[in-house]
Chains A and B, each alone.
Chain A
Amino acid sequence: MLNLISVRNIAISEIKDIAFDIGIFASGYESRATFVAKSIDFEQIHYPLVLGFKEFEHNPVRKQNDLFYSEKGSKAVLISSAEEKGIYSELITIFTKLDDTATVRILVDYTSMARLWYSGILNFLRFQQEKDIEVYLTYSIGIYEKAKFLDYTYSEISSLPSHEGSLSANVRTLLVLGVGYSPYLVKAVIEDIEPNSTLGIIASSLDPNYSPNNMSDIKTILKGDINHWVKCPIQDLEYIFRTYAEIVSNNIYKRDILFLSLGPKIFTIASILISQRFESVTCLYLKQPKNPSINIQPSGQIVCNKILYLKNKVKF
């Protein structure tokens, strides 16, 4: 098993010249699903792997995305958004074919991936033993239509597989909650989980979906539900990771720590990485119906991060 060493923000320009051993993409029902693939030199990827949602095979945008990837020579491997097992066998096959290099460089564009997919990929990578791994995460920021975020529902709160955390004797629980855009969804979730205290992670002003006004509305509605607010810049995984690490290290000996993000995926990514460093924390997610009628267009901005996994042991 490898050790998570570092999480860095990098510029897209830094990855444009890298020859990747593997590149993993998802073909979904959003236009932005291909934006990263179009922004880089696809030829530089030795083994591309395109994952396609089993669920939305006939969605027109999806068909376009599939077409784009197949023209690049990669046919989407169909996988249900509710499982990640199928990805493992694909990756095992690719890994056996890799050249004998000391470090494997992998591009993971999680823009349109299901949570179980990118958590599964990161866990698979961490589970390797032979080689050091550099993961380059990319996320294409979308143009959102605000109103669509108000009516959420969900069917269940579950743990991400292998991020269940440990059972402990702690009586108290701390929920670290990426608040997202619907305060009433937050209320429902807190009602369901009943944590002893909740830390609300709210994106700082850079998020185009917040105006100062609706931010204060959200805070007003959630008065009494959130015990502390912590601001995190929405495109800064390094910052979020560091903040999460501090939250964990300050609470781990007295509370069970649960992470859940109702907002941007970057917060879920951060919690997955944190639970690779601190195995006793739990990453939760909401099972929600997907809405293929929302075709999110790319805004043109790509968030890139470099995650380093090494064989060296680090004591935490």
Chain B
Amino acid sequence: MNRNLFALHNARYLLKRELVDTFVVTHSFERLLSPKNQIIIGSRGSGKTALLKVLSHDHLSLLENVIAKDIILNKTYIGIHISTKTKFVGGLKNKDWQNDQEKEYHFRWLMNIASCIALLETFRSCLSAYIEVDEERVVKEVEIVRNLSRTWFPEATKIVSIDDILLELERIVTLRSKRNLEKKIYNIVRDEEPIGLTFELDLYDPLIDGIKIISRGLQFPDYTSWFVCIDEIEMLDEFHHRILNSYMRANMGNIFFKFTTLPYCHYTLETNLNVPLDIRHDVEYVYIDQDVSFGYRAIPNNSNAYKLFKKRAQLSKPEFADYTFQDLFGKSYLLDNKMISYDEILNSNKKKLTLANIEELVIGNETLSLFLKHTNEATKRRGVELLASKEIGKFGNQFGRKLRALLYLKEYEATRTGKSNMELYCGAKTVINVGDANPRKLIDIFSEMLSVVESGKYNKQKSPIHIELPQPVISYSNQNMVLTSISERELNRYRIEKNFGTGLHEFILSIGNFMYDHIHNNKLNLEQISSIEITNTIGDIEWKLIERAVQRGLIYPNINSQNPDYMPTMEGVFHLAFILSPRFKLLPRKGDSRRLSSIPNFQQLSINFDA
């Protein structure tokens, strides 16, 4: 009889499968498959956690990938995934009364327990990957578990399975927490048997013992390296980083560390060994934001953004899985290069044209008439000079391509009436650019786009007035609506922010409005402003705002191509995330930059910084 009827799915397994099946192998991921200490740095949604999870044995063993299969088969690397979840961190930070030494003991103790729990999950995965016959697997589990148990809990008996060990660890943690409370209430240490003594040993000692026992039990080769993967170390303090750093500095044999953190959140290079970490020698940074492979590419198979879409669609919305981005979103009116017609100018009989001639000639030519209407004096003068002498090529190079989209954007914004349905933010290239090469933002966009088609709430609309295209699967106006609402939501997401209150939101608002004003409340010069420039005169609090904005994926630093893993500090050029462009009516592409100090509203920001 079918007993699965009401069974809850094995969520753990499903989750794993889903993650692995939708995972897109990137260059950064391949970089991680090496025996090195590495710290993965990326903003919210850049896919750090996914990278680290897939690195762990229980995920990697499910990944359909040649390199991964080889690693699993040969047992080259075994990844252990430790999550410093909120509850873990909450327990570290609520003990204000502890001195540094007690803090270190406590951290060590928790980390040892957490790493052993993680090792057990890895062990479970190894058992199912390497032993096919059910009964043999059980026998092996019991054998190794008994060895682990003897090492970790010399006094406990009746522990035969991985689940038994997990229960025992849980019991120890709970008991210790009670002991701590008792200690705190009565201010005394009772003379009782210690709890979980093994886990008070040096950091990673129980883990290393466990690794040895499992390696021996499963007969792993000598060359096997173990990756200790710790997620979200930004949740820890500088104090804890210092401890973690010490172990990266020391030689740990076949154990390597892989951490993830937010930009600017590897708080120190100090160690407890009198020698600080040497970046590159002891540990390598891997910056994963702005990965161009997640940007727009004309050939779908070269685009990781497309793979990201396709893998998810195949699983949950197969009816869309065979569409390309072109099919789904069509052409991008704002970003695709479009020929500008100069026929009126070229066909004129006159050799040299006057401004009046030009004004008359271009009446029916939208681009050129907008050029005359919206550019500032200097730009207009230079442009008119070129047009007057029919130097069309030069005009195109200097103004045409760059300015065309800006002109339309400005015209749209200037003439739109309250409810007019704008069809600006649409088309494959725009849609993908707005995703900032950030997997989470892209997925958010895709899922919203598909739900709009599905809900059928919005009728298919006619193509934008200016271009004749076969209708994309998702109508242009729906795309515009989705991107605009996602953009608004992204800005609102950080209306309140830890330590900053409403400060971060106000900060981004002042930058975005400044950029908006530049286009929409002024005559145009050649470019929009898309970036802010920070000089080393920036104040600490302002810099902290910049850091937070980078962490949240609201601005991105311009990366030095010689040194792509290094983040600029207290200076540099940062562009506003393209996801905010529909909100501030900007083009989702890079333009000019301005100094932060030149943004008028920024001076008046009331930052209630409280750190």
Contacts and interface: CB of A to CB of B under 8 A. Distances in A.
A165 B120 CA distance: 20
Contacts of A279: 174, 177
Interface in B472-498: 492-498
Interface in A183-212: 184-185, 187-188, 191-195
A1 B178 contact: yes
A280 B177 CA distance: 11
B496 A184 contact: yes
A5 B11 CA distance: 33
Interface residues of B, number: 52
Contacts of A155: 498-499, 610-611
Interface stretch (A12-20, A130-138, A167-175, A234-242): A167-175
Given A166-B170, A166-B174, A83 B97 contact: yes
Interface string A34-68: 00000000000000000000000000000000000
Max count, chain A CB within 10 A of own CB: residue among B85, B120, B495? B85
A193 B89 CA distance: 11
B181 A162 contact: yes
Nearest to B44: A191
A60 to B, nearest CB: 24
Interface string B4-36: 000010011001000000000000000000000
Interface string B487-524: 00000111111111110000000000000000000000
A172 B15 contact: yes
A127 B181 contact: yes
B121 interface: yes
Interface string B149-183: 00000000000000000100110011001101110
Given A173-B86, A191-B493, A153 B95 contact: no
A18 to B, nearest CB: 26
Contact of A158 (B93, B177, B187, B611): B93
B608 interface: yes
A195 B93 CA distance: 19
A167 B492 contact: no
Interface in A150-170: 151-162, 164-169
Interface stretch (B109-117, B345-353, B367-375): B109-117
Contact of A159 (B8, B15, B90, B174): B90
A291 to B, nearest CB: 12
B121 A169 contact: yes
A161 B181 CA distance: 8
Contacts of A184: 492, 495-496
Contacts of B495: 184, 187-188
Given A159-B87, A162-B178, A167-B173, A182 B496 contact: yes
B173 A258 contact: no
Contacts of B496: 151-153, 182, 184-185, 187-188
A165 B114 CA distance: 13
B86 A258 contact: yes
Contacts, number: 141
A182 B496 CA distance: 9
Nearest to A91: B185
A184 to B, nearest CB: 4
B94 A160 contact: yes
A279 B180 CA distance: 14
Given A92-B185, A124-B185, A187-B495, A169 B94 contact: no
B608 A153 contact: yes
Nearest to A171: B12
A157 B89 CA distance: 9
A164 B498 CA distance: 21
Given A166-B170, A254-B8, A153 B113 contact: no
Interface in B187-229: 187
A279 B118 CA distance: 21
A261 interface: no
Nearest to B15: A171
B468 interface: no
Interface residues of A, number: 50
Contact of B185 (A88, A191, A254): A88
B95 A161 contact: yes
Interface in B53-107: 83, 85-88, 90-91, 93-97
A272 interface: no
A109 to B, nearest CB: 21
A167 B110 contact: yes
A112 interface: no
Nearest to B95: A161
A168 B170 contact: yes
B498 A193 contact: no
A150 to B, nearest CB: 9
Contact of A156 (B93, B121, B177): B93
A127 B170 contact: no
A151 B11 contact: no
B93 A167 contact: no
B85 A173 contact: yes
A85 interface: yes
B11 A254 contact: yes
A158 B94 contact: yes
A82 interface: yes
Nearest to B88: A167
Contacts of B181: 123, 127, 161-162
B581 to A, nearest CB: 21
A209 B121 CA distance: 46
B94 A164 contact: yes
Max count, chain A CB within 10 A of own CB: residue among B12, B94, B96, B114? B94
B89 to A, nearest CB: 8
Nearest to B165: A169
Given A127-B185, A153-B610, A172-B15, A188 B498 contact: yes
Given A166-B173, A284-B87, 12 more contacts: A88-B187, A89-B187, A92-B186, A153-B500, A155-B611, A162-B177, A166-B177, A182-B496, A188-B497, A191-B493, A193-B86, A194-B86
5 contacts: A92-B186, A158-B93, A169-B117, A172-B15, A194-B86
- List of 4 A-B pairs having minimum Cβ-Cβ separation, nearest first: A159-B90, A153-B501, A164-B91, A184-B495
